Structure 1
């Protein structure tokens, strides 16, 4: 009979923390563009890793959060199933070096296959994908491929009140409060979760978006 604690770990109800973060080479870390977020994530986004960003609804500022990272890529980035067709003039205004390549695939299995193939490509600077839901097997597989090919990858998913264990390196939750985007770190490499803290993404939003936010 399994020990009760082992059953909780298997169900993903117990987070297995570490006393100290493992050392990551500086070249494996990508500056997030936000000094406080860098500190909270132990130096920035880790390459060769899958990062989850949970949102209550689309267009909450998730792309503004990622903009500094996307700007820094010398190679084009792939967007898989963005919730709206990317508007290149708007992205050019944000000083992206190259227009993103985007793909719409309604079949989840096909979208996952495309995501996995993209992670193996040396022609891409980063991969961003939107999924309504991903099971633990799919996340584990994507994390393994991202690690093997040292790719920078992000998955944007709906907000989860009770998150089950997943193989993401970092898991963030975004929410607007008091006219600021709040970023909570519900899982991070080698550390305990961190409560929500403001992130100044409004400076990257067009004026009309800042007013609506």
Structure 2
């Protein structure tokens, strides 16, 4: 009696297939997150390009931008553009610069009208001219249905950049086509707890505790020599706090509302 042919590995059948007890392999460009413990838990070993990533927040300003600083710095050093679309607060440019991100690599788009915001997201995704797109989506559930999210995901799949959507934590119970969803909660002013609530692979039962970078740890030996470290020491915590609060500066801004005043 002949034996039953052995089923080939799922990924040998198609690179987009994986078994439920293992992480999916990468079928696109992956960008290291800057946190080895997180990369070990992300399919492909880093942040994915050409797909949507959702970051869910219970509160804004807990360190979500510092959480992304390592990958933003990497992309900016490659000369790629970082697009911030409708953040609740204008970013503090000197803080970005302390992390090695120059202002000319940051484009800010403010669209207070939710419909305009969704239109702008699609236009940026279609342009495929960004290294990272960070979007603070409108909270109106009637505007952000599954059809809209699928349309954004379709456009993200046709791009080569990192596409991150910030949403409130209550969106966790709503369906989403994004293959990677994370929920961030604050442990301290300089650390976050990261819950991977959706990924292409097995459920991760235990959250990850991530120490957020500071300018000194982000750029060892590059910007902070001994004398500069001493001079900047009193200001470092102030800069970290300002970034998390989102205090204002003036990056390149496209304002689609006549007479609009800067937020906060």
Same fold at TM > 0.5 = yes
Aligned residues: 196
Tell me the CA shift for residue 155 of structure 1.
0.5
Tell me the CA shift for residue 110 of structure 1.
1.2
Between the aligned partners of 1:210 and 1:96, the Cα distance in structure 2 is 15
Question: Do the aligned partners of 1:173 and 1:185 also contact (CA within 8 Å) in 2?
Answer: yes
- Residue from 116, 127, 146 that aligns with 1:121: 127
Write out per-residue CA displacement over residues 88-136 of structure 1, whole angstroms, 9 at most, x where no aligned residue.
1221111114441011111212111111111122321110000243322
3-state DSSP of counterpart to 1:52: strand
3-state DSSP of counterpart to 2:148: helix
Tell me the CA shift for residue 196 of structure 1.
2.0
Go from structure 1 to structure 2 and tell me whether the alpha carbon gap of 1:83 and 1:31 turns closer, same or farther (over 3 Å shift). Answer: same
Task: Give the TM-score of the pair, scaled to structure 1.
Answer: 0.82
Verify: 1:150 aligned to 2:160, yes or no: yes
Write out per-residue CA displacement over residues 42-82 of structure 1, whole angstroms, 9 at most, x where no aligned residue.
21111101101111111111101111111111211111111
- Residue from 203, 209, 225 that aligns with 1:198: 209
Between the aligned partners of 2:210 and 2:53, the Cα distance in structure 1 is 17
Between the aligned partners of 1:69 and 1:48, the Cα distance in structure 2 is 15
Tell me the CA shift for residue 162 of structure 1.
5.0
2:237 aligns to what?
Answer: 207
Go from structure 1 to structure 2 and tell me whether the alpha carbon gap of 1:204 and 1:164 turns closer, same or farther (over 3 Å shift). Answer: farther
Q: Which structure 2 residues correspond to residues 15-26 of structure 1 after superposition, within 5 A?
A: 18-25=20-27
Between the aligned partners of 2:118 and 2:138, the Cα distance in structure 1 is 12
1:37 aligns to what?
Answer: 38
1:163 aligns to what?
Answer: 173
Which consecutive residues of structure 1, in runs of 5 or more, have no partner in the other structure?
1-16
Between the aligned partners of 2:130 and 2:160, the Cα distance in structure 1 is 11
Between the aligned partners of 1:162 and 1:156, the Cα distance in structure 2 is 12
Task: Give the TM-score of the pair, scaled to structure 2.
Answer: 0.67
Go from structure 1 to structure 2 and tell me whether the alpha carbon gap of 1:181 and 1:117 turns closer, same or farther (over 3 Å shift). Answer: same
1:10 aligns to what?
Answer: none
Question: Do the aligned partners of 2:55 and 2:164 also contact (CA within 8 Å) in 1?
Answer: yes
Between the aligned partners of 2:239 and 2:183, the Cα distance in structure 1 is 20
Write out per-residue CA displacement over residues 136-185 of structure 1, whole angstroms, 9 at most, x where no aligned residue.
22211111111122331001111127522211121111111366311111
Verify: 1:189 aligned to 2:200, yes or no: yes
1:14 aligns to what?
Answer: none
User: Which of the two has higher C-alpha Rg?
Assistant: 2
Superposed CA RMSD in Å reads: 2.4
Question: Do the aligned partners of 2:95 and 2:240 also contact (CA within 8 Å) in 1?
Answer: no
Question: Do the aligned partners of 1:176 and 1:182 also contact (CA within 8 Å) in 2?
Answer: yes
Which consecutive residues of structure 2, in runs of 5 or more, have no partner in the other structure?
1-18, 217-235, 245-264
